[in-house]
Chain A
């Protein structure tokens, strides 16, 4: 397994404004696998996603991140993206003044992919239709006036267009109705089919995982990685919640007092 590890972080610790959020995180995601990162609110799951993507709001204070055989700990987010890392945002930002299609084209051109406009329009339109998205959205300002569901569809559209080596999906399912959830699930399946993509899914909701073969599950509590196991962990958490994992963390400073049994 170690020969095809796509993402590996070792002893990763991060802070924001001198407050430590992540404590000594170890994580390995082999190429082509589906991993799920679970944990209660405030566990640091989204922070880990952002730190992996290189969000400058967080400072890495220990450990390193290796992606596709290279140390990316010091790389800027645009370089990480160019290297094949993707983060789907829990709350995608709005960018007034920039039509969605202009943004998508700039994104592709940034990767040196010059596509004839006709071809580009055809491709983006087809992807929009696949995701049950009105193609008129492509001419609208990025995210401005989009519903929560439309914003998540735009994230999926970018995922399918970029076909990154590893996609971190940060609560992509949050706040979606059943229809939008099924569209997002379809996007994830397509990504897997089209490019044998690797997924790290951050979620509370197990429904989004129903159509995916999950390889490994990681559990975070209070900024610590407290458990790792097979897909069976999902059912267990679904039934019992995070209580026993939370109990494994001492209340003082969220210090880790040992991992529960893993499978």
Chain B
């Protein structure tokens, strides 16, 4: 079976659009025709439990019941009072103009009172559906209460094909899951005779009360591939999800992560590291919605852009009415190595609650003067220093790799990028 040409028009869309002329509200992903569907996926065995195909939906349905107990539907009087309040606010703030498309959509989600409706995929439903179709059966990691599981999924790039995995993680109360996702290119370019292809993962996480989920995704595929990293997260009370994303290869990479911090005192941390060189394209979209009180999210992105590479990052933290005491922060460091790079960042903090904190910080630019002088005092010219920053991203990824598969993948990529790199990690 071969793919037909598909264009996903509004992938990785920001929840609240900004000026259209900035051309960064969303992105477009081209899925070329003529690719075979060939998921080359290896799953580490054994792990404690493989769940049923509908385990995620069931967990969300159970959570819906629990959530409704603690969040009863508003009475007709309360609804009328709320509508009057909103109308007054709109009138006072916007002079009676209509709500924005975002406000209407956001209100519809909240009014649905449905956890399933509120659950989002970071790259959007269409991209997630494409990957799910290409992946075939879902890999379901279901961990029972109090247990701990390490799981690993390796997706290998297949020239001329779509190779994808769909993974569900259901972490019961007080359980722990470490999931390693490696998107790898075991075949050196040119060896197979074919070229471009698509790799991807679409991951849904349900972290129940007090659960700890850690996900480490490392992508080191060749320059002519397109990679899509899609995630959707749900956290119940006191649950914590930490995601680390390392983006090294692929001509174009699309990283999208959406999270519903539903339970009180739950937390999501995202640590993204990336390298863009030659004419590579990097696209990131983050959307964290704080529903629960005292919830926390922290988005941290560090990258190096060289050559004529381009990067867009949309980071939205939505502090929804009722999330009292919530804190969201997003921070970005981008080192621009060459003059030809394009870097766009849109941090958005939406706020509909009083007692909350939203923070944003960014350091974007060339190496700081004092750093440059320090490196120069050790004999490194500006060019040598910038080159060191680019290769250090790959090296740090190899050092920090949490599994042998991830490390081997990064080392292979480093060797293709810079012959001799593998020697650095020889024992």
Contacts and interface: CB of A to CB of B under 8 A. Distances in A.
Contact of B379 (A82, A96, A102, A141): A82
A82 B375 CA distance: 12
B424 A93 contact: no
A7 B377 CA distance: 17
Given A93-B371, A97-B335, A106-B388, A139 B399 contact: yes
A95 B379 contact: no
B396 A77 contact: no
Nearest to B388: A106
Contact of A89 (B374, B396, B424): B374
B390 to A, nearest CB: 10
Contacts of B389: 97-98
Given A78-B379, A97-B392, A99-B392, A57 B369 contact: yes
Contacts of A111: 379
B370 A93 contact: yes
A102 B388 contact: yes
B396 A158 contact: no
Given A57-B369, A93-B371, A97-B389, A107 B396 contact: no
B381 interface: yes
A240 to B, nearest CB: 35
Contacts of A98: 388-389, 392, 396
B423 A116 contact: yes
Contacts of A97: 302, 304, 333, 335, 389, 392-393, 396
B388 A81 contact: no
B378 A162 contact: yes
Nearest to B393: A97
Contacts of B370: 93
A92 interface: yes
A78 B396 contact: no
Chain A interface size band reads: 35 or more
A103 interface: yes
B426 interface: yes
Given A81-B376, A92-B374, A103-B375, 10 more contacts: A89-B377, A97-B302, A97-B396, A98-B388, A98-B392, A99-B396, A102-B391, A102-B395, A106-B384, A117-B426
Nearest to A98: B392
Interface string A113-156: 00011100000000000000000000101000000000000000
Q: Specify the main secondary structure of chain A where it touches its partner.
A: mixed
B373 A110 contact: no
8 contacts: A81-B376, A97-B335, A97-B396, A103-B378, A105-B424, A111-B379, A117-B424, A158-B378
A57 B373 contact: yes
Contact of B426 (A89, A95, A118): A118
Contacts of B335: 97
B369 A95 contact: no
A56 interface: yes
Contacts of B379: 78, 81-82, 107, 110-111, 162
Nearest to B384: A110
Contacts of B392: 97-99, 102-103
Nearest to A76: B376
Contact of A87 (B377, B381, B384, B424): B377
A116 B376 CA distance: 24
Main secondary structure of the interface of B (DSSP, over half): helix
A53 interface: yes
A169 B370 CA distance: 17
B378 A117 contact: no
A78 to B, nearest CB: 4
A106 B380 contact: yes
A79 B304 CA distance: 26
A55 interface: yes
Contacts of A105: 424
Contacts of A117: 423-426
A77 B391 contact: no
Contacts of A86: 377
A116 B388 CA distance: 18
Nearest to A120: B424
Interface in B372-427: 373-381, 384-385, 388-389, 391-393, 395-396, 399, 423-426
B399 to A, nearest CB: 5
A163 to B, nearest CB: 13
Contact of B380 (A55, A87, A110, A139): A110
A96 B302 contact: yes
- Counting from the closest, the 4 A-B pairs by CB-CB distance are A77-B376, A81-B379, A98-B392, A78-B376
Contact of B373 (A56, A103, A107, A116): A56
A141 B371 contact: no
Given A96-B302, A97-B304, A97-B393, A78 B388 contact: no
B377 A77 contact: yes
Contacts of B377: 53-54, 77-78, 80-81, 86-87, 89
Contacts of B395: 99, 102
A91 B333 CA distance: 22
Contacts of A92: 374
